[in-house]
């Protein structure tokens, strides 16, 4: 209807200077908005083992959007990120998402926060009630999470956009929120480092030193990091699932 209205305006204002340019700008905004609306689910693979689905809208095409994402080999767990997911609690939309994950054998963790919409919250609650998923989120999240993290809305927005972001009180971390700055406690020693140390100590003088491997990025998003810890622990206990 909106596009039809724009066409009517063009026919009325034909010949007036500057009007077509204004209408074209409006039309461009409408088309851009519709294109953004079509991107309801994004995905990425974290550390090569965890597949994350970022859902921006719970719609009647959610199951179709999820099914269109290819699951790569080696993935041992999934994260369904419903933070800031909009959409109403319509039966068909929630049921489609539920059916997709209920029939998947990989372990699942669902992320929620206080901005999780009604439909997304219903989906998270149903997956947990069925014993299909654990829920991780902020202390004010809906539904109430199994594992709580102290993350406010503004901080959550930043981490949702970039899970590797190093937030500190000087660059945007909100007072009282969790700071996932535990990188200093992680052992990033690689196989190449161990070989290099042995050569230096004279234990294996005949070995050829291998190139130093780059340190992989570390997820600093507190909710996502906890979800990944849970999934990696499950994978260690049940290695055949992956």
Answer whether 176's CB lies under 8 Å from 150's CB. yes
Return the sign of the alpha-carbon dihedral for residues 168, 185, 226, 105: positive
Structural domains in the chain? 39-180+219-241 (3.90.226.10), 186-218 (no CATH)
Pairwise CA distance, residues 121 & 126, whole Å: 9
Q: What is the pLDDT of residues 39-87, one digit of tens each?
A: 689 999 999 899 999 999 998 899 999 999 988 888 999 999 999 999 8
Pairwise CA distance, residues 220 & 69, whole Å: 25
Pairwise CA distance, residues 124 & 146, whole Å: 11
Tens-digit pLDDT string for the chain (242 aa):
555 555 565 566 555 545 555 444 444 444 344 444 456 899 999 998 999 999 999 988 999 999 999 888 889 999 999 999 998 777 888 999 999 999 998 999 999 999 999 999 999 999 999 999 999 999 889 999 999 998 889 999 999 999 999 888 777 777 777 765 544 445 555 555 566 666 666 665 555 556 666 667 889 999 999 999 999 998 888 776 54
* pLDDT value, residue 157: 93
- Cβ–Cβ contacts within 10 Å for residue 148, how many? 17
- Cβ–Cβ contacts within 10 Å for residue 123, how many? 32
Mean pLDDT rounded to a whole number for the chain? 79
* pLDDT value, residue 29: 45
């Amino acid at each position: 209807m909106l596009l039809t209205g724009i066409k009517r305006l063009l026919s009325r204002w034909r010949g007036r200077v500057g009007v077509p340019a204004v209408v074209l700008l409006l039309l461009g905004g409408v088309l851009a908005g519709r294109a953004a609306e079509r991107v309801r689910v994004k995905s990425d693979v974290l550390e090569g083992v965890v597949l994350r689905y970022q859902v921006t809208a719970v719609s009647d095409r959610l199951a179709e959007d999820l099914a269109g994402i290819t699951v790569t080999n080696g993935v041992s767990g999934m994260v369904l990120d419903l933070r800031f997911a909009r959409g109403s609690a319509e039966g068909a939309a929630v049921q489609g998402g539920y059916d997709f994950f209920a029939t998947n054998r990989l372990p699942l963790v669902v992320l929620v926060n206080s901005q999780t919409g009604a439909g997304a919250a219903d989906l998270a609650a149903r997956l947990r009630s069925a014993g299909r998923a654990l829920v991780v989120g902020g202390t004010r999240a809906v539904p109430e999470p199994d594992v709580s993290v102290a993350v406010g809305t503004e901080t959550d927005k930043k981490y949702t956009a970039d899970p590797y972001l190093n937030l500190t009180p000087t660059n945007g971390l909100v007072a009282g929120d969790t700071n996932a700055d535990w990188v200093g406690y992680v052992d990033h020693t690689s196989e190449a480092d161990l070989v290099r140390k042995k050569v230096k100590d004279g234990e294996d003088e005949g070995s050829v030193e291998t190139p130093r491997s780059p340190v992989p990025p570390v997820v600093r998003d507190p909710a996502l990091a906890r979800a990944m810890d849970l999934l990696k622990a499950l994978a260690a206990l049940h290695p055949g699932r992956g």
